[in-house]
Structure 1
């Protein structure tokens, strides 16, 4: 699996780096028999309006019977659901791989509540080994998933709405990528259960805090998690996510991508796309202590004005020639 990080408590107020909403990526890239063309997307999204502001614009006076509380609640629920759907499911880019009649159209979307279960399925499948080391047994991991879902559902400003990309084919979520920026809390945090006064619990929490990587460079975009569903790998979906997150990182003001990997195969995969071994901090050591396996941090320095067509070719074209199961 690929090293990542995970569930931030969005209810805790903290200073975060100034980062505006993602502007939409307006190009659709096609790969036909090894040749790339770039065209305008047929799904050009508009910039999202703040959900809270939209919600405040609801006119309750339009309800026929203002004295009927049930009708009022029904109206507000339906209207809020409609506004949420308008906000969610934004497609930011699309890619076509393959040739002839078997083209696969990969659409990259921002996170939406409608896709929360599909996202969590990929998240927990990709990070299952890490979660056992950071969270605990199956029951504790299940509690962690329930808490994570409740946190996202109850907070319209949860980081997933900005920091998660979803890869879709025919409307089905097949892949996901989670980003983290400086000052943001890791998403994998130990549950508040068990004897808090035990020495073992204190040591474990200390190790988890040390192993949980928080981006240290002011212009860093950290890939916490990237995963593709079983049965859909080697289609270039992971490569499309990497190409898209590179553009997003630039738009957010980042000049480097970082990721932790396990195993030589994954390291080779990312090195093909310009990532290099990074030994500038001790994060890999603490992950090794907790996870009991070799973990390496890789970094890719982003060129400020890299051509989009070149970027697409460097990711998707190579993924069609040689892929790995993990991505």
Structure 2
């Protein structure tokens, strides 16, 4: 791949353009808002000048509702040898493109499983896709050269290719991406009118659950409008669990011993099923999740403190597998939780104590 055009210079389009440009591909940028394309170009993502001739690959990075029309226009103009889109739904756009009479042999639907709460070119980074799954949805009519160019795109972005059927992909992202967004927003919505005293009690748990609730509502309306059926099916299952959980909680208020016992059993059932589901979420490098041991360190809000902790861990020869920070409300301090291999926890604890760190129970 020597040349590419990116149509749609938001977060995903600009990030792909930055990654390609960094690998020596000449990237042309286009957007319905010329200022957005110019912004992406100023970041080093390519040029906002149109290509002089046919490019190797066209990457359509527009909202799902506009994917088919944008692709049909680009294919009709002969912009590229191959065409991909990066929308978060795959089945609908392909069917719409076929209905428009476009040549679909030169097209393959793709979806990089990466993103941020922030949108737009200023949020883009060349490393956004590194190590992340990038779904490809070829069909029997997909040209081999087109598939190879799509695979090259994934490789140049340092992502991991995953081949799926388009409709199976849409059902999968309904479960692992689209529904979590709605559930996160629903929980966060409870905070809007909450008493200030309650809000001040927010800890890491509520921060974890509501992190993605900061996402752009307009963008998510477009995404969910393109995949409503599968999302509704997942939510229906959650709604059934919610109803059963509400009933179980009410049973715990009962004066009847058997009802209370049944309520406790219902709560335990949903919590245990949650444990089982959480254990299936891939861990580091996509492997099965590992049970890490947590070493918790009290840290002051001062420049260089995190770097000092990591350096001290390095001196102990310990690899930090994961890290999280729990901020102390109203204080210039926090609790850094270092997740390490259980066999390394004792050595890390001893090293940090020797270097004056205040350790806490995680």
TM-score with structure 2 length normalisation? Answer: 0.23
Q: Which has the larger radius of gyration?
A: 2
TM-score, normalising length: structure 1: 0.25
Q: Which has the higher contact order (CA 8 A, sep 6+)?
A: 1
- Structure (1/2) with the larger helix percentage: 2
